[in-house]
Amino acid sequence: MQQLPHWIDGKARAPANGRWLDVFDPAAGKPFAQVADGDASDVQAAVAAAQAAFPAWSKLPNTERARWLEKLADALEARLEDFAHAESRDGGKPLKLAREMEIPRAVSNLRFFAHAATQFASESHHGQAGLNYTLRQPLGVVGTISPWNLPLYLFTWKIAPALAAGNTVVAKPSEVTPQTATMLGELMAGIGFPKGVLNIVNGLGPSVGEAIVSHPAVKAISFTGSTAVGKRIAGIAAPMLKKVSLELGGKNATLVFADSDWRDHLDTIVRSAFQNSGQICLCGSRILVERGIYSQFRDALVQRASALRVGDPIDSDVQLGPLVSQAHFDKVVAAIARARDEGGQILCGGKILERPGWFVEPTVVEGLGPDCATNRDEIFGPVVTLQPFDNDDQALSLANTGDYGLATSIWTRDLNRAHRIGAEIHAGIVWINSWLMRDLRTPFGGMGQSGLGREGGAEAMRFFTEPKNIGIALS
Ligand code: NAD
């Protein structure tokens, strides 16, 4: 069986403890590879390599760092098909999605931050007191920890700005989907990427993730994952006065007003609910619909959800693959049972597919109020609820119920309303008549239980640098 090692100091390394974990194909429910079950000694080796590489990497002209990122992007693009197949099998996502969206986005992340390396600028303040200018210096060794839902897309979203800003990195992919990040390590070795600049340590959160977070030489942690783990990381990092960026869970609202062109937008609204089987932090899982169109909208949504083709992600016409793991499948199945117990009516779906692998039908639930667990807790699966509203205030109040604050989409033709509600929504990201419209320069992140800090563009470059002000008296 294929083994996925660490990549430390430019070389593939077996775990020091000799242990390996199974990696599963979610469409078959069977292991297809093994990944290093690393621990603190592997993290120590990675941090030492990153420390040794830091002086040379941080002193490279930023144009040179940009060239390395571009070179890596070129190498990834040349292998796009292999990476898309690997991502599809490892995460159970439709091959089409991996090929057309996720791996291309990983390439874009590398290219975008290659440009950022040469475009990023710092401030100067010229005044009566003299001239102040701010240096933005790399932090040193930084840690990145990423989840399984968009494996290479989110892995590169973190390492690219960290490297562009001149840091060296110890990166931990999710143990559930480690394949493409490990392939990226191999790709880097193949193009002669400077050794020790990016070190990939595979393994479990408590052993590898926490060893990265608690290592005194790791200056900052960029984390994407669940709110529970984000809080744990914050608890370790805070007394060490370590910088953290935390991109956490969500329970996003989709607001559909009667005046919207909702029939024209139904494709996007359905995607916003079910793309990647609902396993995207930005998916809208609470659909709020103005009462005047509620029943028409509900029937159209149910019809579309029922028609989604669920099956083997490698088939080109499949729209939804399986859930990523047995544990996640069990969680989603339990959430559907709880929706029933809470009095929800399952309008479509609600069942598992009788075949190997972890497949759940796209599920639409109605009849539940804003305060029940189904409408408050993140499910992160192909499960959405419908709630009617009567006016703008009620729509806003329903949307803002709950502890999360990541993303919202608003569907209306009334731009005054869209701007007004957009400003009052408790979320870091609001889309009007669109969903997942991404411009990599914009601040990305959530409020409340959805996280701390922002990624993207200059926000990411600022996170991965230390500002140092230098004041000169001008006589
Ligand atoms: P998770 O928190 O279980 O794991 C995320 C990563 O953290 C993995 O690499 C894991 O090994 C590691 N980890 C686990 N325990 C750790 C610990 N104690 N210390 C350090 N690292 C540890 O999350 P997941 O199940 O992989 O991903 C799903 C979650 O991620 C969902 O809640 C989803 O909303 C969230 N997410 C958020 C965003 C965003 O941008 N806000 C994007 C994608 C996913």
Query: 375 phi and psi, to 5 degrees?
Result: -95, 0
User: Distances from the Cα of 96 to the Cαs of 75, 276, 433, 473, in angstroms?
Assistant: 20, 11, 24, 60
The closest alpha carbon to 124, from 111, 135, 138, belongs to 135
Q: Using CA positions, which residue lies closest to atom 12 of ligand 1?
A: 205
Place of tokens 């394949």: 179
Structure confidence at residue 135 (pLDDT): 97
Q: Using CA positions, which residue lies closest to atom 10 of ligand 1?
A: 205
Residue among 221, 229, 326, 383 to mutate when testing ligand 1 (max atoms within 8 A of CB): 229
Structure confidence at residue 223 (pLDDT): 98
- With contact defined as beta carbons under 8 Å apart, do 253 and 289 qualify? no
Q: What is the 3-state secondary structure (H, E, C) of 47-76?
A: HHHHHHHHHHHHHCCHHHHHHHHHHHHHHH
The closest alpha carbon to 117, from 133, 138, 131, 100, belongs to 138
Q: Could you count the other beta carbons within 10 Å of the beta carbon of residue 198?
A: 31
Q: For residues 308 and 88, what is the distance between their CA atoms, to the nearest angstrom?
A: 18
Structure tokens at 146: 């990423």
**What is the 433 CA–ligand 1 centroid distance (Å)?**
29
Place of tokens 């060893």: 211
H-run or E-run covering 290 = strand 284-290
Domain at 253-440: CATH code:
3.40.309.10
**2-248+450-472 belongs to CATH 3.40.605.10:** yes
Residue ranges of the domains in the chain?
Answer: 2-248+450-472, 253-440
Structure tokens at 394: 């009620």
Burial of 374-390, coded b for 16+ CB within 10 Å and e otherwise, reads bbebbbbbbbbbbbbbe
- With contact defined as beta carbons under 8 Å apart, do 273 and 448 qualify? no
Structure tokens at 62: 């930023």
Structure tokens at 376: 């408050």
The closest alpha carbon to 174, from 103, 237, 87, belongs to 87
> 252-256 and 284-290 as β-strands: parallel, antiparallel, unpaired?
parallel
How crowded is the C-beta side of 445, counted as CA atoms within 13 Å?
Answer: 25
**What is the 297 CA–ligand 1 centroid distance (Å)?**
34
**What is the 453 CA–ligand 1 centroid distance (Å)?**
16
DSSP-derived secondary structure letter, 409: E
Q: For residues 389 and 398, what is the distance between their CA atoms, to the nearest angstrom?
A: 8
The predicted-structure confidence for 102-155, as pLDDT tens digits, reads as follows: 999 999 999 999 999 999 999 999 987 899 999 999 999 999 999 999 999 999
If the chain, 475 residues long, is cut into consecutive pieces of 10 residues, what is the mean pLDDT of each piece?
A: 97 98 98 98 98 98 98 98 98 98 98 98 91 97 98 98 98 98 98 98 98 98 98 98 98 98 98 98 98 98 98 95 98 98 98 97 98 98 98 98 98 98 98 97 98 97 98 89
Ligand 1 atom nearest the C-alpha of 450 is: 41
Give the Cα-Cα-Cα angle 182, 185, 190 (nearest 5 degrees): 130
**What is the 380 CA–ligand 1 centroid distance (Å)?**
12
- With contact defined as beta carbons under 8 Å apart, do 184 and 152 qualify? yes
Structure tokens at 319: 């729209």
In this structure, which amino acid lies at residue 4?
L
253-440: same fold as 2-248+450-472?
no
Q: Sign of dihedral through CA atoms 161, 162, 167, 170?
A: negative
3-class SS of residue 328? helix
Query: Which residues belong to the active site?
Result: 247, 281
H-run or E-run covering 131 = strand 130-138
Give ligand 1 pocket residues (Cβ under 6 A).
Answer: 145-149, 172, 174-175, 204-206, 209-210, 213, 224-226, 229, 232-233, 247-250, 281, 378, 380, 406, 446, 450-451
Structure tokens at 164: 């562009």
Place of tokens 């992160």: 380
Q: Using CA positions, which residue lies closest to atom 16 of ligand 1?
A: 205
Structure confidence at residue 129 (pLDDT): 83
First to last CA, the chain: 72
Structure tokens at 365: 């639930």
Structure tokens at 130: 């003299």
**What is the 412 CA–ligand 1 centroid distance (Å)?**
33
Ligand 1 atom nearest the C-alpha of 250 is: 34
Q: Using CA positions, which residue lies closest to atom 20 of ligand 1?
A: 209
Structure confidence at residue 474 (pLDDT): 86
Q: Using CA positions, which residue lies closest to atom 14 of ligand 1?
A: 205
